[in-house]
Amino acid sequence: MFTTYDLLDDVLTLRDMVDRFFDEVSATRRRVEFPYSNVYEKDDDIIIRAIAPGVSSGDVNVQLADNTLTIEMNRKEDYADKPYLRKEREFGSYRKSFKLPYYVDPDKVEASMNNGILTIKLTKHESVKPRKITIN
């Protein structure tokens, strides 16, 4: 008995395999690492706001090196001695770095924590601020 070979079936199978591959790749690239942050510019400042629910200011470390700001935090488990009925929050140590678009003044960095929101204010360094040049 002879069976027929259908090239179209193979092409459609290949297309489905490629579609599944790109769906998986794009799903993994969309993940944003904790702490979730917003970065914006206001006048001569860069403002970074990162959410840190359940993290105390003593468990946060902010460092500025070269042109990179790094936030490290430790979110401690709140029910270590009790079993969970459902657990959706992750606990542990987290680290996130931001490459800054220009140099900032390391002496003018301000950080504060309020209601689980870490706010960091960085001011442009004088050398990168635009200057008015007078014409003679």
118: DSSP letter: E
Q: What is the mean pLDDT of each run of 10 residues along the chain (136 residues)?
A: 71 84 67 82 92 89 92 81 76 89 91 94 87 88
CATH code that applies to domain 37-128: 2.60.40.790
| pTM to 2 decimal places | 0.69
Q: Are 73 and 52 in contact (CB under 8 A)?
A: yes
Q: Are 68 and 98 in contact (CB under 8 A)?
A: yes
> So where are the chain's domains?
37-128
